Amino acid sequence: MTKALRINVTGRVQGVGFRYTAQQKASRLRLTGWVRNERDGSVEIRAEGEPEQLAALLDWLEAGGPPCSRISRIDHFPVEPQGTFSRFSVEY
């Protein structure tokens, strides 16, 4: 059963390759959705997939995410799956 999460990540997460590394990780997990920088310096992720895949993405983030980032907070909320994504992309 497809589930979806909206994830907001704060800390040193912009300008360190976070979006591209998150996109690669999500793609390897066969998730769909997107990752983008927010104006407040955080990064937002919208991910859809099986619960185990979403849990693996959260585990990766909680373990520190990309090597150059410094995550200080992760907030995640269930949202309704849209089912319209065909891949996981970096949004600008």
Task: Please pick, among 37, 39, 46, 87, the residue that the annotation labels catalytic.
Answer: 37
Q: Please indicate whether residue 8 is annotated as part of the active site.
A: no
Contacts within 8 Å (CB) and 24+ apart, 17-26: 17/66, 17/68, 17/69, 18/43, 18/65, 18/66, 18/68, 18/69, 19/43, 19/90, 20/90, 21/65, 21/66, 21/69, 22/65, 22/66, 23/88, 23/89, 23/90, 25/57, 25/60, 26/57, 26/88
Q: Please indicate whether residue 70 is annotated as part of the active site.
A: no
Task: Please pick, among 19, 36, 46, 87, the residue that the annotation labels catalytic.
Answer: 19
Catalytic residues: 19, 37
